[in-house]
A and B are shown apart, each in its own frame.
Chain A
Amino acid sequence: MKHFAERKEWFSGLVLLLWLTLLTAFSSYAFAESPTKPVRLGIMSSFSGTASVLTLRSLDGCKLCVEKTYNGKILGRPIELIVRDDALSPQKAVENFRELNLVHNVDFTLGMISSGAACAVSPIAKKLQKPILYWDSKSPKQIVELGGRYVFRTVSDTYMDVSAVTQVCSKKPWAKYVTISPDYEYGHSVVDLFKQQLGKLKPDAQIIGEHWPKLGEVDFTSYIPGIIKAKPDCLYVGLWGGDGMTFIRQAKPYGLFEKMAVIILNEEDTIYAMGMDFPEGIFMEANYHFNFEDIRANQEYVKAYMEKYGTLPTSHSMYGYVATQFVLEAIKKAKTTDKEKVIDILRGLTLDTVVGPMTIRKYDQQANMPVYVGQTYKSPEYPKHLILKKVGFKRGEEIMMPIEEVKKMRGE
């Protein structure tokens, strides 16, 4: 009897396997040429953990673009998003990229926030010859050294951000600087670039102190008295996300923000998260702020976003929105989802976006997203959070790494 039962199991397993094979073969055949076959976009980023406060906004922006601008359809086919989380792990990001392209056969992949993970994905994209567009993740390395035909980026990189910030600094009477930045790749690169560019624009400026707390530090009280005692004219802060928030709230009771000018990189989203706790007069680098006059022109985007999500759009919402717009517009113009044709269109494509006209530079496939520097202030119109006043602005092409420099670094 036992023998028989085993054989029966074997048999039913075999039938099941055959059935599944037939089913998949049939379904892929049935969908292959059908006009209802969805256009698939692979979305990958770190949707859990420290970065989620930012990445979920980018996903919101992406969904808004798909639903609002394109009504969920392109080339007469529905748009389908397949979302994967890498939890900041480079290895998981590479797995996701493979899965999206080799299993789900997506038509284009976009996303990412961690530059470490993006540096791992760029070479795989090249190897598999499948395209990726980074809507966030700002290391110059992932494009300059690891980029190529299959790697695009719409967001400004740290080179551009720091350039914009340094140009604002060079116009202020600040001579002495202290830096505080997390002790890992991004943190070091923003400080190194700052030193380099400040040295060029303002040779008399001095860095009189550097602090390197670990990423995810929860207690900055050991750093704060030292920063105040050094009496710098300006504190340059590379901390982001939760680290930035923790630092600000711990430094505030010490009166640090009244004693020196403070510049924080890329933290426009934090203003909303911290509410009225956020100090006034902080200089902040941002790619987007709903209230900047040149962005204000784009009220329907803000309105649509508020309607759908009930909050103001942030820099990160714009990252997702703009990147999705670029990919979908390229597919529309190419009139096909054929990857090579879409890539050809995308290289050098110029679009009107919510931050003004943007072009993806043909040579390194980096877009010229503009960079603003704002200063926080309280406005009676917004009782729940501070807003930014524009104090500096650079168009992308003014601050992008010159092509000669990219060529030099690529050894061409």
Chain B
Amino acid sequence: MEGFLLGQIIAGLTRAMLLFIIASGLTFILGVLGVVNMAHGSFYMLGAYLASTIMAYCGMKISGNAFWLAVIFAPIIVALAGGLVEYFGLRRIYYRGEVLAQLILTYAVVLIVADAIRLVWGPEFKLVPRPDFLAGKISFAEITVPYYNLFLIGTGLIIAGVLRLLFYHTKFGKTVRAVSSDREIASTLGINVPRLSTLVFMLGCALAGFGGVLAAPFGALNPTMDISIIIQSFVVVIVGGLGSFGGAIVGALIVGLTDAFGVLIFPRITLVSMYIVMAIILIVRPWGLFGSPLGPLTK
């Protein structure tokens, strides 16, 4: 029985870590720029599809390492695409302070990316092979764990560590936190706020793209995967508290584990178990577990 519970916990953690990687980008953009990025799921989807193409093209020439090429290059391409959206779109509407304008703009990106992906890759389901060295599994006691699940959990933890280092122990992190708490004062102190905003948006998108690459060999790719992930990512961010990294980790763990155990305990209501937990948390703490009652920019 204990072995089985462990298996279930690992399943929950896998989902949680994948969600965390994606949601951390969302919460980062939200916290620093105050932008509700509806297109985050689209960048995730773009990352997954780019990974499938990179692996299909390079897999033949450089066998085995094509997965690593996808891990490196797909997020970079996604970040560049995000940079374009920020530079030609969002940058022009930040100072209006209208959330509605941001929503419309990022939603337009959702539609554009979804249709572009249908055009380029077609509407059909696609499967991305798992890299050989991650295709196996380990079995002990009565449970089986595929290597890929362990790889996802490990990667999630590493990303959490790297992000923490980046924000609390580097100059870049300090600058970003300064901009996040007050754009105008940061700007008078000589920080190039517009350039930093573009960088922040690109980094957030890169995280979404990275999540997409990791998710590609895990399930099947289809042009509606953006919507399903964006809803879950928003749940994670809302539960954890807008703009909080620790919140994103805890939120992802709550969503992932609720899902894994909800399936066991209440198989009939798996559709809603995640939202029930979210509702309870929001009733107790309307600003999320690690958020601030005054909003994401006031910490």
B276 contacts chain A at the CB level, 8 A cutoff? no
Residues B8 and A242 in contact, CB atoms below 8 Å apart = no
CB-defined contacts of A210 to chain B, threshold 8 Å? 267-268
B183 contacts chain A at the CB level, 8 A cutoff? no
Interface residues in A216-232 by Cβ distance below 8 A to B read 216, 218-219, 221-226, 228-229
Residues A212 and B224 in contact, CB atoms below 8 Å apart = no
Flag A197-225 by CB within 8 Å of B: 1 or 0 each: 00000000000011111101011011111
Q: Which secondary structure dominates chain B's binding surface?
A: helix
Closest residue to B124 on the A side, CB-wise?
A53
Q: List, sorted by A's number, 16 A–B pairs whose CB atoms are closer than 8 Å.
A: A50-B224, A53-B124, A53-B125, A183-B271, A211-B263, A214-B270, A219-B14, A221-B260, A222-B15, A225-B8, A226-B264, A242-B220, A253-B135, A254-B146, A255-B137, A275-B127
Residues A49 and B223 in contact, CB atoms below 8 Å apart = yes
CB-defined contacts of B146 to chain A, threshold 8 Å? 253-254
Residues A246 and B15 in contact, CB atoms below 8 Å apart = no
**Shortest Cβ distance from A4 into chain B, in angstroms?**
40
Cross-chain contact of B144 among A50, A212, A255 (Cβ < 8 A): A255
Cross-chain contact of A212 among B125, B229, B260, B268 (Cβ < 8 A): B268
A91 contacts chain B at the CB level, 8 A cutoff? no
Instruction: Kindly state the separation between the CA atoms of A304 and B148 in the bound complex, as whole angstroms.
Output: 43
Instruction: Kindly state the separation between the CA atoms of A97 and B271 in the bound complex, as whole angstroms.
Output: 32
Residues B127 and A218 in contact, CB atoms below 8 Å apart = no
Instruction: Kindly state the separation between the CA atoms of A246 and B280 in the bound complex, as whole angstroms.
Output: 31
Residue in A209, A218, A246 with the greatest tally of chain B CB atoms within 10 Å: A218
Instruction: Kindly state the separation between the CA atoms of A56 and B122 in the bound complex, as whole angstroms.
Output: 12
Cross-chain contact of B8 among A209, A212, A222 (Cβ < 8 A): A222
Instruction: Kindly state the separation between the CA atoms of A180 and B218 in the bound complex, as whole angstroms.
Output: 19
B4 contacts chain A at the CB level, 8 A cutoff? yes
A74 contacts chain B at the CB level, 8 A cutoff? no
Interface residues in B246-291 by Cβ distance below 8 A to A read 259-260, 263-264, 267-268, 270-271
**Shortest Cβ distance from A58 into chain B, in angstroms?**
14
Residues B259 and A216 in contact, CB atoms below 8 Å apart = no
Residues A216 and B224 in contact, CB atoms below 8 Å apart = yes
Instruction: Kindly state the separation between the CA atoms of A348 and B122 in the bound complex, as whole angstroms.
Output: 40
CB-defined contacts of A222 to chain B, threshold 8 Å? 8, 11-12, 15, 259-260, 263
CB-defined contacts of B143 to chain A, threshold 8 Å? 225
Residues of B within 8 A of A (CB): 4, 7-8, 11-12, 14-15, 18, 118, 123-125, 127, 129, 135-137, 139, 142-144, 146, 148-149, 215, 218-220, 222-225, 228-229, 259-260, 263-264, 267-268, 270-271
CB-defined contacts of B125 to chain A, threshold 8 Å? 50, 53, 241-242, 245, 273
The 4 lowest CB-CB distance pairs between A and B, nearest first, are A253-B146, A225-B7, A52-B123, A222-B260
CB-defined contacts of A242 to chain B, threshold 8 Å? 125, 220, 222
Residue in B7, B139, B229 with the greatest tally of chain A CB atoms within 10 Å: B7
Residues A219 and B15 in contact, CB atoms below 8 Å apart = yes
**Shortest Cβ distance from B259 into chain A, in angstroms?**
6
Instruction: Kindly state the separation between the CA atoms of A223 and B261 in the bound complex, as whole angstroms.
Output: 9
Cross-chain contact of A221 among B11, B123, B223, B268 (Cβ < 8 A): B11
CB-defined contacts of B124 to chain A, threshold 8 Å? 52-53, 56, 273
A345 contacts chain B at the CB level, 8 A cutoff? no
Instruction: Kindly state the separation between the CA atoms of A274 and B127 in the bound complex, as whole angstroms.
Output: 7
CB-defined contacts of A273 to chain B, threshold 8 Å? 124-125, 127
A250 contacts chain B at the CB level, 8 A cutoff? yes
CB contact under 8 A between A226 and B263, given known A49-B223, A216-B224: yes
Residues B219 and A225 in contact, CB atoms below 8 Å apart = no
Residues A253 and B137 in contact, CB atoms below 8 Å apart = yes
Task: Apart from A222-B260, A245-B220, A277-B129, list 19 A-B contacts with CB within 8 A.
Answer: A48-B118, A49-B123, A53-B125, A56-B124, A183-B271, A212-B271, A213-B263, A216-B228, A218-B218, A218-B229, A219-B15, A221-B11, A221-B15, A221-B260, A222-B11, A225-B7, A253-B144, A254-B146, A255-B137
Instruction: Kindly state the separation between the CA atoms of A49 and B123 in the bound complex, as whole angstroms.
Output: 6
Interface residues in A236-271 by Cβ distance below 8 A to B read 241-242, 245-246, 249-250, 253-255
CB-defined contacts of A48 to chain B, threshold 8 Å? 118, 123
Instruction: Kindly state the separation between the CA atoms of A129 and B293 in the bound complex, as whole angstroms.
Output: 60
Instruction: Kindly state the separation between the CA atoms of A223 and B263 in the bound complex, as whole angstroms.
Output: 7
Instruction: Kindly state the separation between the CA atoms of A48 and B114 in the bound complex, as whole angstroms.
Output: 12
CB-defined contacts of A214 to chain B, threshold 8 Å? 270-271
Closest residue to A220 on the B side, CB-wise?
B219
**Shortest Cβ distance from A221 into chain B, in angstroms?**
4
CB contact under 8 A between A250 and B8, given known A211-B267, A245-B125: no
CB-defined contacts of A211 to chain B, threshold 8 Å? 263, 267, 270
**Shortest Cβ distance from A180 into chain B, in angstroms?**
10
CB-defined contacts of B264 to chain A, threshold 8 Å? 226
CB contact under 8 A between A226 and B8, given known A242-B220, A255-B144: yes
Flag A158-183 by CB within 8 Å of B: 1 or 0 each: 00000000000000000000000001
Closest residue to B261 on the A side, CB-wise?
A222
Cross-chain contact of A183 among B220, B229, B270 (Cβ < 8 A): B270
**Shortest Cβ distance from A95 into chain B, in angstroms?**
20
Instruction: Kindly state the separation between the CA atoms of A203 and B219 in the bound complex, as whole angstroms.
Output: 37
CB-defined contacts of B118 to chain A, threshold 8 Å? 48
CB-defined contacts of A253 to chain B, threshold 8 Å? 135-137, 144, 146, 148
**Shortest Cβ distance from A275 into chain B, in angstroms?**
8
**Shortest Cβ distance from B222 into chain A, in angstroms?**
5
Cross-chain contact of A249 among B127, B137, B139, B268 (Cβ < 8 A): B127
**Shortest Cβ distance from A309 into chain B, in angstroms?**
14
Residues A246 and B219 in contact, CB atoms below 8 Å apart = yes
CB-defined contacts of A254 to chain B, threshold 8 Å? 137, 144, 146
CB-defined contacts of B149 to chain A, threshold 8 Å? 221
CB-defined contacts of A212 to chain B, threshold 8 Å? 267-268, 270-271
CB-defined contacts of A274 to chain B, threshold 8 Å? 127
CB contact under 8 A between A218 and B219, given known A253-B135, A253-B137: yes
Cross-chain contact of B11 among A225, A255, A277 (Cβ < 8 A): A225
